Amino acid sequence: MTTATARAYPNIALVKYWGKQDEDLILPVAGSLSLTLDAFPTTTTVALDAATGTDTDIDTFSLNGAVASADATGRVTRFLDRVRELAGSETRATVTSTNEAPTGAGLASSASGFAALATAAAAAYGLDLDRRDLSRLARRGSGSASRSLVDGLAVWHAGDDAHSYAEAVAGPDMRMVIVTVDTAQKAVSSRAAMRRTALTSPFFPAWISSTEESLAAMLEACAADDFTRVGRITESHALRMHAVIQSCDPPIRYLAPTSVAVFDAVAALREQGLEAYSTADAGPNVAVIVRPEQAEDLRDALAGFGSVRLVGAGDGARLIDAGA
């Protein structure tokens, strides 16, 4: 097969990944847990140049119909180099991607992007990888992408290269309301901000140990099907991540005043019996988990803060066209 198309969805972490113990292999300092969404997919086609007749010495990458930046293309090429190394191939590829989420705004487009790219590229280059190895491969593009190989709730294990992959966990049924406060590209990439946190935050060692504790507690709460505990851990862990990020030198603050207002509004709704809990990635947008039966009420209650979208648990990355 020399052309393949895959689709993947973003995921939002309930226990966050923030910090690498190995920058090249993208091994995290601690495990994390996320929900793969059923909205904002990335669809990516990888066509080997041998198949298209464009025999070049560079990969080409287009995103949403436009030629991608040199930076983005460089990241795709470095990722494809890894695939080519595994496949014993030197053939360049034409990569065409469409992304339904605003790129770079903390809606995890790098997760869906590299999960789709890993799945399509592995098929195009003829690699026979199971889901675990596809998760390990996607991890090399962007850590959080390892989790977008998995349906619904996913735990991504810390560990060495062989053991750092994501797999499914059972847990409470939930929905998520995504409140898009701002779609602008973030000022500091998560990659650079993670590095700065590890190098300059005096709180980083405590972040690592407390994340391990949060993940253990989260796995217990999931196994007990306990939405309330899942929610409490989710909100407190998100605020801890933003706290450690703000403690960098020079500091980085991703939450906007409106993001904080959403956290406050959700806390007030909880007092009134609408049980929901907030989280936010490396950007100002807020994702709020809620029980299925209260999801529409939550969406309506948060509509004044930005554009709101009610989403549920979605599928891990899949090949949608195995091509020729």
3-state helix, strand and coil shares in percent for the chain, rounded to the nearest 5 = 40, 25, 35
Least CB distance to ligand PMV at residue 49 (A)? 28
Q: How far is the CB of 131 from ligand PMV (least distance, A)?
A: 18
Q: Which of residues 48 and 149 has its CB atom nearest to ligand PMV in the complex?
A: 149
CB-based contacts of 56-62 (< 8 A; 24+ apart in sequence): 56/92, 57/92, 58/92, 59/92, 59/93, 59/94, 59/95, 60/92, 60/93, 60/94, 60/95, 61/95, 61/96, 61/97, 62/95, 62/96, 62/97
Stretch that binds ligand PMV, among 9-17, 126-134, 266-274, 315-323 (CB under 6 A): 9-17
Task: Give me the DSSP letters along 30-57.
Answer: S-EEEEEBSSS-EEEEEEEHHHHT---S
The set of long-range contacts for 84-87, using a CB threshold of 8 Å and a minimum separation of 24, is 84/125, 86/125, 86/127, 86/137, 87/125, 87/126, 87/127
Choose the stretch contacting ligand PMV; rule: CB under 6 A; options: 16-24, 76-84, 118-126, 314-322.
Answer: 16-24
Which among 4, 317, 7 is positioned nearest to 133, based on CA atoms?
317
Asked if 142 touches ligand PMV (CB under 6 A), the answer is yes
DSSP conformational letter for 311: E
Q: Are the C-beta atoms of residues 47 and 124 closer than 8 Å to each other?
A: yes
Closest separation in Å from C-beta 224 to ligand PMV? 23
Closest CB to ligand PMV among residues 47, 155: 155
Q: State yes or no: residue 13 binds ligand PMV (CB under 6 A).
A: yes
CB closer to ligand PMV out of 49 and 281? 281
Q: How far is the CB of 283 from ligand PMV (least distance, A)?
A: 8
Query: For ligand PMV, what does the binding mask look like between residues 183 and 222, x meaning CB under 6 A?
Result: -------xx-------------------------------
62-70, 85-93, 139-147, 157-165 -> range binding ligand PMV (CB under 6 A) = 139-147
Q: If binding is defined by CB under 6 A, does position 287 make contact with ligand PMV?
A: no
Instruction: Provide the binding-site residues for ligand PMV, judged by CB under 6 A.
Output: 13, 16-18, 32, 108, 110-111, 142-144, 190-191, 281-282
